[in-house]
Protein backbone atom coordinates (compact mmCIF):
# COMPACT_ATOMS: atom_id res chain seq x y z
CA UNK A 1 0.00 0.00 0.00
CA UNK A 2 1.22 3.50 -0.83
CA UNK A 3 -0.06 6.72 0.79
CA UNK A 4 -1.22 9.14 -1.91
CA UNK A 5 -3.02 12.23 -0.63
CA UNK A 6 -5.34 13.86 1.84
CA UNK A 7 -8.32 15.71 0.38
CA UNK A 8 -9.74 18.89 1.90
CA UNK A 9 -12.74 20.75 0.46
CA UNK A 10 -12.31 24.50 0.15
CA UNK A 11 -14.97 27.18 -0.28
CA UNK A 12 -12.69 29.85 -1.75
CA UNK A 13 -9.77 28.84 -3.99
CA UNK A 14 -7.93 32.17 -3.69
CA UNK A 15 -8.09 32.18 0.11
CA UNK A 16 -7.05 28.53 0.28
CA UNK A 17 -4.08 29.02 -2.04
CA UNK A 18 -3.06 32.14 -0.15
CA UNK A 19 -3.00 30.12 3.07
CA UNK A 20 -1.43 26.88 1.82
CA UNK A 21 1.00 28.37 -0.74
CA UNK A 22 1.78 31.96 0.27
CA UNK A 23 1.68 31.47 4.01
CA UNK A 24 2.47 27.79 4.57
CA UNK A 25 4.88 27.53 1.63
CA UNK A 26 3.32 24.61 -0.25
CA UNK A 27 3.65 24.45 -4.06
CA UNK A 28 0.89 23.78 -6.60
CA UNK A 29 2.03 20.83 -8.73
CA UNK A 30 -1.14 19.88 -10.63
CA UNK A 31 -4.64 21.21 -11.30
CA UNK A 32 -7.69 19.54 -12.84
CA UNK A 33 -10.84 21.45 -13.83
CA UNK A 34 -13.79 19.14 -14.41
CA UNK A 35 -16.59 20.97 -16.24
CA UNK A 36 -18.98 18.00 -16.18
CA UNK A 37 -18.55 17.36 -12.46
CA UNK A 38 -18.32 21.08 -11.69
CA UNK A 39 -15.22 20.85 -9.51
CA UNK A 40 -11.54 21.77 -9.48
CA UNK A 41 -8.80 19.65 -7.92
CA UNK A 42 -5.58 21.39 -6.92
CA UNK A 43 -2.68 19.22 -5.76
CA UNK A 44 -0.08 20.77 -3.47
CA UNK A 45 3.30 19.43 -2.37
CA UNK A 46 5.60 20.46 0.43
CA UNK A 47 8.60 22.36 -0.98
CA UNK A 48 10.92 19.42 -0.34
CA UNK A 49 8.58 17.05 -2.18
CA UNK A 50 8.01 19.02 -5.41
CA UNK A 51 10.41 16.96 -7.57
CA UNK A 52 9.01 13.67 -6.27
CA UNK A 53 5.46 14.94 -6.78
CA UNK A 54 6.02 15.34 -10.53
CA UNK A 55 5.75 11.57 -10.96
CA UNK A 56 3.34 11.08 -8.01
CA UNK A 57 5.95 9.53 -5.72
CA UNK A 58 5.17 11.99 -2.99
CA UNK A 59 2.12 12.37 -0.74
CA UNK A 60 0.08 15.41 -1.71
CA UNK A 61 -2.60 17.66 -0.32
CA UNK A 62 -5.62 17.74 -2.64
CA UNK A 63 -7.76 20.87 -2.42
CA UNK A 64 -11.20 20.18 -3.85
CA UNK A 65 -13.28 23.15 -4.90
CA UNK A 66 -16.89 22.27 -5.71
CA UNK A 67 -18.16 25.07 -7.93
CA UNK A 68 -21.68 25.03 -6.50
CA UNK A 69 -20.97 24.51 -2.78
CA UNK A 70 -18.90 26.86 -0.67
CA UNK A 71 -19.95 26.42 2.95
CA UNK A 72 -18.97 23.20 4.73
CA UNK A 73 -20.31 22.48 8.20
CA UNK A 74 -19.66 19.69 10.64
CA UNK A 75 -16.30 18.58 9.30
CA UNK A 76 -17.45 18.12 5.66
CA UNK A 77 -14.43 20.08 4.51
CA UNK A 78 -12.19 17.09 5.26
CA UNK A 79 -12.61 14.64 2.43
CA UNK A 80 -10.59 11.43 2.59
CA UNK A 81 -7.25 9.68 2.82
CA UNK A 82 -6.10 7.92 -0.37
CA UNK A 83 -3.89 4.86 -0.87
CA UNK A 84 -2.68 3.10 -4.01
CA UNK A 85 -2.94 -0.70 -3.69
CA UNK A 86 -1.50 -3.60 -5.67
CA UNK A 87 -4.77 -5.55 -6.03
CA UNK A 88 -7.97 -3.66 -5.23
CA UNK A 89 -10.16 -6.76 -5.57
CA UNK A 90 -8.02 -8.86 -3.22
CA UNK A 91 -7.81 -6.08 -0.64
CA UNK A 92 -11.56 -5.36 -0.72
CA UNK A 93 -12.28 -9.08 -0.41
CA UNK A 94 -9.94 -9.38 2.60
CA UNK A 95 -11.45 -6.29 4.22
CA UNK A 96 -15.01 -7.59 3.75
CA UNK A 97 -14.03 -10.93 5.31
CA UNK A 98 -12.74 -8.94 8.29
CA UNK A 99 -16.06 -7.12 8.67
CA UNK A 100 -15.24 -3.87 6.86
CA UNK A 101 -18.07 -2.40 4.77
CA UNK A 102 -17.08 -1.48 1.23
CA UNK A 103 -19.04 1.78 0.91
CA UNK A 104 -18.19 2.32 -2.75
CA UNK A 105 -17.24 -1.03 -4.34
CA UNK A 106 -14.54 -1.12 -7.06
CA UNK A 107 -17.05 -1.62 -9.88
CA UNK A 108 -14.65 0.04 -12.30
CA UNK A 109 -11.69 -2.09 -11.21
CA UNK A 110 -9.94 1.06 -10.07
CA UNK A 111 -11.52 2.87 -7.11
CA UNK A 112 -13.20 1.88 -3.85
CA UNK A 113 -14.08 3.69 -0.63
CA UNK A 114 -14.24 2.39 2.93
CA UNK A 115 -14.56 4.11 6.31
CA UNK A 116 -12.49 3.82 9.46
CA UNK A 117 -14.22 3.00 12.76
CA UNK A 118 -14.21 6.77 13.42
CA UNK A 119 -15.91 7.53 10.12
CA UNK A 120 -12.84 8.72 8.18
CA UNK A 121 -13.35 8.08 4.47
CA UNK A 122 -10.51 6.14 2.81
CA UNK A 123 -10.10 5.92 -0.96
CA UNK A 124 -8.37 2.86 -2.40
CA UNK A 125 -6.96 3.16 -5.95
CA UNK A 126 -5.65 0.31 -8.08
CA UNK A 127 -1.96 0.61 -8.96
CA UNK A 128 -1.45 0.93 -12.72
CA UNK A 129 -4.28 0.18 -15.11
CA UNK A 130 -7.75 -0.63 -13.78
CA UNK A 131 -8.59 -4.30 -13.37
CA UNK A 132 -11.27 -5.70 -15.67
CA UNK A 133 -14.72 -5.17 -14.10
CA UNK A 134 -15.70 -8.36 -12.27
CA UNK A 135 -18.28 -9.77 -9.89
CA UNK A 136 -19.18 -9.50 -7.10
CA UNK A 137 -17.98 -5.88 -7.37
CA UNK A 138 -19.63 -5.05 -10.68
CA UNK A 139 -23.18 -5.42 -9.37
CA UNK A 140 -22.53 -4.47 -5.74
CA UNK A 141 -24.42 -1.31 -4.69
CA UNK A 142 -23.01 1.56 -2.70
CA UNK A 143 -23.54 1.35 1.05
CA UNK A 144 -23.88 4.48 3.17
CA UNK A 145 -21.70 7.42 2.28
CA UNK A 146 -18.04 7.85 1.72
Which residues carry out catalysis?
123
* Closest C-alpha among 103, 138, 144, 140 to residue 124: 103
| Cα dist from 87 to 6, 112, 123, 131, whole Å | 21, 11, 14, 8
Contacts of 78 (CB under 8 A, 6+ apart): 7, 8, 9
Amino acid sequence: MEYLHTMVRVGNVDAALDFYCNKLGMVEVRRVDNEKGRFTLIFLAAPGDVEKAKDTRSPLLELTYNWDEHDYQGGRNFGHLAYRVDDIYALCDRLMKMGVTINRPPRDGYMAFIRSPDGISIELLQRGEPKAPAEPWLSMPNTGSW
